[in-house]
A and B are shown apart, each in its own frame.
Chain A
Amino acid sequence: MENVLEIKDVTYKKNQKLILKDVNLTLQPGKIVALLGENGAGKTTLMRIISGMAKNYRGSVKIDGFDKDAEKKAHLSFTDGLTGFNDSTKIKAVVDFYEVVYQDFDKSEFEQLRRFMKLDLEMRLSQLSRGMREKLIIALTFARKADLYLLDEPFGGIDAMARKKIINSIILWKNDNATILISDHFVNEIASLLDEVVIIKDQTIYAHKSADEIRSNHETIEQYYEGLYDGDEED
């Protein structure tokens, strides 16, 4: 089966500062992959490069074999902060926008997710707390039937109980062949979901391992991740 994501030799600089160097990454369909790394490691930048939001990088990015921006954007669903809307915009209007612009947006799926997240369509964006806004973003992201989901720290403001419920349900919201690339600091909480782990360190993909391989070494994913930085702290 064709790879969902193929990144080849991607190097990205901003303000003459090297952010990512020679990044190579391939993801297969149907996987849930954690993208881990310290703050400023380049996780968000990598997601922005994949989604076509970051420009002027060297190398190539293909999604489902497509390398043109329009096709790539049509096949991926990225957690977006919705800052392109006025704060007075109602959730209803945001949903209308998604329905019109994204052909893979499933309104009935969104309705289910909205009820799960306890969101009111009549609420305005300004009335939403950070957690509620993140719930809306997750609902909008998964209401699209995309092949690749990019979740960039999606649970930061969501309370622990709701976060647990959402994490446990994520697997139900995606198609079997869809792949999720998720960056998050709550490594332990998402660990049970994961098929693979990708670590960004020293401006490149430092490690790409299957979760089973890590577990077979009697390590949790968090222990494995933290272990990669142990030497650095001693320095």
Chain B
Amino acid sequence: MTVFKHLFKELFKQKRRNANAVIIIQFVAAMAILLITVCNLIINKDFSSEDWRDIEPLSYILFGLFSFVALPIYLIVTCVKNERFNRSQTWRLAPVNDEMFYLDNILSSFASVIYLMVAQFVITAVLVGLSSLLFKDVFNDTIKSFVNGFKAGSGLHFNIVVGNVLQIICFIILFSLFTYLIISFLNFATRSIMDYLPGMSSKTGVFIVQVVLIILIMRLLTTLFKIFGRLITSPMGLLGSASTGLGKAILIYLVLDIALLLINMFLINKFFEAAPNK
């Protein structure tokens, strides 16, 4: 267990570097667009301090908006990193069972995604705080109009809103895990099949096996979604909120994540080799 913990720390350290890079790029991009906007205003007309009051909130709005782009990009980056670690002899030589190593790898990636989300939230909050300090009245007006709009528009009960937000967070977590697991499955299954096929080590061979696997996975998933969908909406009604669209998706992804995790742990333990490394 000690090695498991230490390995997790080391893997997280490696992935946190990428998360930091993503945050810096996101921040620089938001500030660059803000600067370009200000420059354009200065060029086109006289720029007064009043204009700055209107433009400044762009800093956190842009940073917040970029989070929606940065997160999926980071998810792809960590997918690639995961598979590099899974194939690396340096990392696989760590004194833990291969399935534990795999668990460490996936969990550390997931922890780094949470780290990225928290960092993005903190930076957005700092930018909002800065804005509220500089232009208190503008900030108060924005908050007031947001709250009023929310009250008037939704008319929803607070508990329902919190419930929905939690469901969305739950879905994002399970979907992120699913992305990691399905990519690992594709990688493990391809390599394991390649090791069995005679004389197959070319890139074309890998490509063909991957295409066949992707088609099979798509077909299997479509069938599973149909079966699950029918089971969940069955007249038994035992699953309550799961009969809603998002609830149903959460349940399906939960089952798929567990199944894929077990399959991948088996594959890495029995078939998926680390790359030779001298």
Contact = CB atoms under 8 A, between A and B. Distances in A.
B89 A97 contact: no
B17 to A, nearest CB: 9
Contacts, number: 95
A59 interface: no
B208 to A, nearest CB: 15
A81 B273 contact: no
Given A80-B93, A81-B90, A15 B277 contact: no
| Interface pairs A-B: 3 shortest CB-CB | A84-B90, A84-B88, A74-B95
Interface stretch (B22-30, B31-39, B197-205, B226-234): B197-205
A82 B277 CA distance: 8
Contacts of B272: 55
Interface stretch (B2-10, B131-139, B241-249): B2-10
A103 B2 contact: yes
A15 B6 CA distance: 36
Query: Which of A48, A54, A69 has the most chain B CB atoms closer than 10 A to its own CB?
Result: A69
A85 B84 CA distance: 10
Contacts of B90: 80-85
A100 interface: yes
Contact of B274 (A17, A44, A53, A100): A53
A34 to B, nearest CB: 18
Interface residues of A, number: 33
A11 to B, nearest CB: 15
A15 B95 contact: no
A83 B89 contact: yes
A70 B104 CA distance: 14
A54 B96 CA distance: 15
A68 B98 CA distance: 10
A92 to B, nearest CB: 13
Contacts of B9: 100
Contacts of B10: 97, 100-101
A153 B195 contact: no
